[in-house]
Structure 1
Amino acid sequence: MNVAVVNWRDPWHPAAGGAETYAWEMARRFARAGDQVCFVTARAPGQRRKETIEGVRLARMGGPFTVYPLVLVWLVLRRGLFDAVLDCQNGIPFFTPLVLSRRTKIMCVVHHVHDRQFDVHLPRWLAVFGRFLEGPVSRWTYQGHESVAVSPSTVSAMRERLGWTGPIHIVPNGVNVSTSGDFPRSRTPRLVCVGRLVAHKRVDLLLDAVSQLRKQWPELTVDVIGRGPEEARLRARLPEGVTMHGYLPEAEKERLIAAAWLQVNASQGEGWGLCVLEAAALGVPTVAFDVDGLRDAVRHGETGWLVPEGLGSTGLAKGIAVALDELNDTYSAKCREWAGKFCWDRSAERLAALVRGRAAGPGWEEP
C-alpha cells in the first residue's frame, strides 16, 4: 500500500514527545513490511524539507499552525496517490477527509482529548476555537471513518467529551528500552521525572513536593529529564536535591531511570504516558495522578500508585511517601511483567490489519 502518516511533528523535532514516537514506530514498521510510506509533518529550524530514514520518506513543511493548511494543499496535489492515511490528532486533526477521495482509507489516530489543556496553553478565545475544532468540527469531518485510540481512557473521553459515535479501535503503545544494560539502583531515595517540560505536565507540583519529602528523607534526590518551553522557568526555582538534565541520549536516560526508586508523573492527563511503560520495563514503578491515560498505564498497587486528582503538591507528596514506605522488589517484578505485554510490532500489525479492513483481534488485554 501507499500510506501517508500525517503528524504534527517527527521524532527529531525539538518539541517531539510520545505521539511522535508512536507515529514513527508505526511508519517504520509499515515500511519494513513493504508499504510505501511518507511521513508528512512540520519543519523545525535546521531540519531538511525532504529525506528518507529507514525506508520512510519524510516531507516537512510549515510550523506549529501553518503545517495544517500546507499539508492539506500537499495532499490535494497528490489526491489519488495514497491508499491509506493515518491522520494523527494532536489537539486537532488535519481534517484530511475534506481533501482526499472516498477510496482512500482514512483513520484518525487520537492519543488524548485536549479540551481541558487548551486553557493551559492558549488565550481564552483560541482555547474556545480549539475545543470547537476538536469537538463538533472533528466529529462531523470524520463521521463514517474509523478511528484509533491508544487507551481505554481515550475511548471514554472521545465518547463522553467529544460525542464521537463512530468505530474506535484501541492500538496501544509499545516500549523500547535497552535489554543489555545492567544499571544499578540508587542506595538512597531517588525519584525521576521524564517528559516534555510543558505546562500541563505540572512539574511544579513535583518541585513543591520535594521540600516536604526531604523532611522525612533528607537524602532524597530528583532527576528531571526532558526539555520544553517551561525549562527556564523551572530551572529558576529548583529546590535543593533536584537536578534538571534537559535532553539526554537514550542510554543515559535509561541509566538515570533505572537508578530511581520511583518515577513521578504529575500530568493533568495523557493518552497513555509512554514514559510510564519505559520505566516499568526497567523495573521502576510510577506515582501519578488518577487521570486519563495514566490510570491505564499504572496498575494501582501493582506497578505503581495513583493519587486522587485535585490534591495538588501536598497530595502528591503524600502519595510518594506512601510509595516509598511500601516499595519492595515485588513492584519491580510486576512492572517488568506489565511492560512485557506491550510491543510495537504487535501494535503495528494490529493497525495494519485495521487499515486493510481485516479482523485485528482484541486491542486491550488486562494483565
Structure 2
Amino acid sequence: MNVAVVNWRDPWHPAAGGAETYAWEMARRLAAAGHQVCFVTARAPGQRAADRIDGIRVARMGGAFTVYARVLLWLLLRRDLFDVVLDCQNGIPFFTPWVLPRRTRVICVVHHVHDRQFGVHLPRWLAAVGRFLEGPAARRTYRRHDSVAVSPSTVTAMRERLGWTGPVHIIPNGVTVTTTPAGPPLPHPAPRLVCVGRLVAHKRVGLLLDAVTELRRRWPALTVDVVGRGPEEAALRARLPEGVTLHGYLSEADKERLIASAWLHVTASQGEGWGLCVLEAAALGVPTVAFDVDGLRDAVRHGETGWLVPEGADAAVNLAKGIAAALDELHDGRRGDYAARCRDWAARFRWDRSAERMAALMQGRTPPAWEER
C-alpha cells in the first residue's frame, strides 16, 4: 500500500519526543514490510525539504503552526495517491479527512489528551482554540474513522474529556535499548536519580529540583542527572540545586549508560500518552517514580515496577515523599526484585508487535484486544 504518516515533527527535529519515535518506528516497519511510505512533517531550520531515510520518503514543510495548512494542501494535490494515512494528533490532528477521498483509510493516532497542557503553553484565547480543535472539531471529523490510542488512560480521556464516539484501538509504544540492564548490587553507594525527557513546561522538571533540597537532608550525597533539552533549559539551569547536573542532549548509548547507573528514574510530568522514558528505564532494570496521571499510571505498575504518587496541592512535597519511600525500599535490598520485574514488564512491549497491530488495522482487520498482563 501507499502510506502517508503525518506527524508534527520527525525524529531529527530539535523538539522531537516520544510521539516522533512512535511515528517513525511504525513508518520503518511498514516500509520494511514492503509498503511505500512517506513521512510528512514540519521543517525545522537547517532541515532539507525532501529526504529519504531507511527507505522512507520524508517531506518537510511549514513550521509549528503553518505545517497544518501546508500538509493539507500537499495531500489535496496528491489526494488519489495514498491508500492509508496515519494522522498523528499531537494536541491537534491534521484533519486529513477534509482533503482525502472516502476510499482512503484514515487512522487518527492519539498519544494523550492535551486540554490541560494548552493552558500551560498558550495564551488563554489560543488555548481555547486548541481545546475546540482537539475536542468538538476532531470528534466530528474522525467519528467514522478508526482511532489509535497508546494507553488505556488515553482511551478513557478521549471518551470522557473529548466525547470521542468512534472506535478506538490500543497500540502501545515499544522499547529499544542496547545497554546491558542494571542489576544488584546498587551501582553507586549514594542514591542517584535520573530524569529523562524534553525540558518543556508540562514535564515539570522544576518539581524535581524543588524536592532535591529536602532529599539531600536525608541523603547528603544524593545526585540527580537530568537528560534532555527544550525551551525550559535556561530557566532550569539558573536554579540548579547542589547535586544536580543538567546534561542536555546525550547520544542514545550515553543516555542508556546514565540511566542504567541510577537507583531510580523520576518523571514529574503533568500527563503522558504513555511515557516512553519509563519503558526505557524499566528495560534497563530501573524503576520509576511518577505522578498518578494519564499515561504514567499505565506505564508504571505501582509497587511492582515503580511508584505512583498523588499530585495534590503540594506536588513537590508529595514527589519528595514518594522518592524518599522508593529509595528506602531500594536501599533495603529490594533493588534486585524491582529490576527483574522492570525488565519483565518492558519485555512485553516491542515495536514489531505494535507495528503488526497497526498493519492489521490498516488492512481493515480489527487487532485483538490489547492486554497488558
> For the structure 1 residues 43 and 102, does the alpha-carbon distance in structure 2 shift closer, same or farther, using more than 3 Å as the test?
same
Which of the residues 328, 337, 352 maps onto 1:325?
A: 328
Which of the residues 240, 250, 253 maps onto 1:251?
A: 253
| CA drift at 1:179 | 4.7
The 5-angstrom pairing of residues 173-184 of structure 1 reads 173-180=173-180
Describe the superposition over 1:280-319 as per-residue Cα deviations: whole angstroms up to 9, x where unpaired.
0000000000000000000000000000122311110000
The 5-angstrom pairing of residues 350-365 of structure 1 reads 350-365=357-372
* Structure 2 counterpart of 1:233: 235
* RMSD (Å), alpha carbons: 1.1
* Structure 2 counterpart of 1:347: 354
Q: What secondary structure does 1:319 align onto? A: helix
| CA drift at 1:365 | 2.4
Describe the superposition over 1:253-282 as per-residue Cα deviations: whole angstroms up to 9, x where unpaired.
001000100000000000000000000000
Q: In structure 2, what is the Cα distance between the partners aligned to 1:358 and 1:114? A: 29
Q: In structure 2, what is the Cα distance between the partners aligned to 1:181 and 1:279? A: 9
More displaced stretch, 174-183 vs 308-317: 174-183
1:19 lines up with 2:19 in the alignment = yes
Q: What secondary structure does 2:194 align onto? A: strand
| CA drift at 1:362 | 2.4
Contact 2:259 2:284 in 1 (8 A): yes
Contact 2:181 2:283 in 1 (8 A): no
Describe the superposition over 1:23-75 as per-residue Cα deviations: whole angstroms up to 9, x where unpaired.
00000000000000000000001111101100010000000000000000000
Q: In structure 2, what is the Cα distance between the partners aligned to 1:304 and 1:312? A: 18
Q: In structure 1, what is the Cα distance between the partners aligned to 2:30 and 2:123? A: 39
* Structure 1 counterpart of 2:311: 309
Contact 1:290 1:307 in 2 (8 A): yes
Q: In structure 2, what is the Cα distance between the partners aligned to 1:176 and 1:185? A: 22
The 5-angstrom pairing of residues 165-314 of structure 1 reads 165-180=165-180, 185-310=187-312, 311-314=314-317
Q: What secondary structure does 2:116 align onto? A: coil
Contact 1:172 1:364 in 2 (8 A): no
> For the structure 1 residues 113 and 181, does the alpha-carbon distance in structure 2 shift closer, same or farther, using more than 3 Å as the test?
closer
Q: What secondary structure does 1:116 align onto? A: helix
> For the structure 1 residues 192 and 179, does the alpha-carbon distance in structure 2 shift closer, same or farther, using more than 3 Å as the test?
closer
Describe the superposition over 1:157-195 as per-residue Cα deviations: whole angstroms up to 9, x where unpaired.
000000001100000000010055779822310000000
Q: What secondary structure does 1:227 align onto? A: coil
1:54 lines up with 2:54 in the alignment = yes
Contact 2:171 2:358 in 1 (8 A): yes
* Structure 1 counterpart of 2:345: 338
More displaced stretch, 257-266 vs 184-193: 184-193
| CA drift at 1:124 | 0.3
Q: What secondary structure does 1:40 align onto? A: strand
Q: In structure 1, what is the Cα distance between the partners aligned to 2:290 and 2:209? A: 14
Q: Which runs of 5+ in 1 are unaligned?
A: none
| CA drift at 1:340 | 0.3
The 5-angstrom pairing of residues 84-95 of structure 1 reads 84-95=84-95
Q: In structure 1, what is the Cα distance between the partners aligned to 2:188 and 2:98? A: 54
> For the structure 1 residues 213 and 179, does the alpha-carbon distance in structure 2 shift closer, same or farther, using more than 3 Å as the test?
closer
> For the structure 1 residues 221 and 182, does the alpha-carbon distance in structure 2 shift closer, same or farther, using more than 3 Å as the test?
closer
Q: What secondary structure does 1:186 align onto? A: coil
The 5-angstrom pairing of residues 30-41 of structure 1 reads 30-41=30-41
Q: Which runs of 5+ in 2 are unaligned?
A: none
How many residue pairs are counted as aligned between the two chains?
366
Contact 2:179 2:253 in 1 (8 A): no
TM normalised by structure 2 equals 0.97
The amino acid across from 1:45 in the alignment is P
* Structure 2 counterpart of 1:153: 153
Runs of 4 or more consecutive aligned structure 1 residues displaced over 3 Å after TM superposition: 179-184
TM normalised by structure 1 equals 0.98
More displaced stretch, 179-188 vs 8-17: 179-188
The amino acid across from 2:195 in the alignment is C
Identical amino acids, percent of aligned pairs: 77
Contact 2:182 2:286 in 1 (8 A): no
